[in-house]
Amino acid sequence: MRKRTLLSLMALAPVVSACGFRLRGAPSFPFKTLYVQAPEGSPFTREVLRNLATAGGNLTVVLPPAKPDTAEATLQLLGERRQRIILAKTVSGQVREVELRLFARFRLVDQQGRVWLEDTELQQKREMSYSESLALAKDEEEAMLYRNMYSDLAQQLLRRLSAVHAPVDE
């Protein structure tokens, strides 16, 4: 039985590798040092810094009080905002379903002030049901969804940073 399973897996191995599937792996950035200019205490800033620290590769992150000109590029986290939109109400006017939205803006410039990435806004949305009788549990669920969205946005930002190219001088 085990031999048959092993043989069938070996037969499928070329098919799986030929489909183009490949694990994402560690990102490689087109710069060696990155200065992060961001608001302190922001959940998005914490998540971006955590993702940069665990990204691996050859990237060195420079933080204040160091000067921005000590790094090849500067990531400017311009802001974030949350929205909570009511999608549905019951006949009696109680909230039944809400949509949570999270927006984050950033840009990337180099030492000479050339813009590598223009102001970019990333966004995430999540829908959740709501019940007044379960308000405490729903508040916890909302906090968990926001943490998840911050993590997703930080990962999107890292993928954008790894795909960016230096601006061409004109």
Residue 4 — pLDDT band, cuts 50, 70, 90? confident
pTM: 0.81
Q: Domain 29-163 is of which CATH architecture?
A: 2-Layer Sandwich (3.30)
- In the prediction, which pLDDT does 10 show? 67
- 50 within 8 A of 160, measured Cβ to Cβ: no
pLDDT-wise least confident of 18-27, 55-64, 141-150: 18-27
Q: How many CB atoms lie within 10 A of CB 35?
A: 22
Specify the pLDDT at position 124. Answer: 97
As a whole number of angstroms, the distance between CA 21 and CA 158 comes to 20
Residue 89 scores a pLDDT above 80: yes
What residue ranges do the domains of the chain occupy?
Answer: 29-163
pLDDT per position as a tens digit, 9-41: 666 666 555 677 766 667 788 899 999 999 988
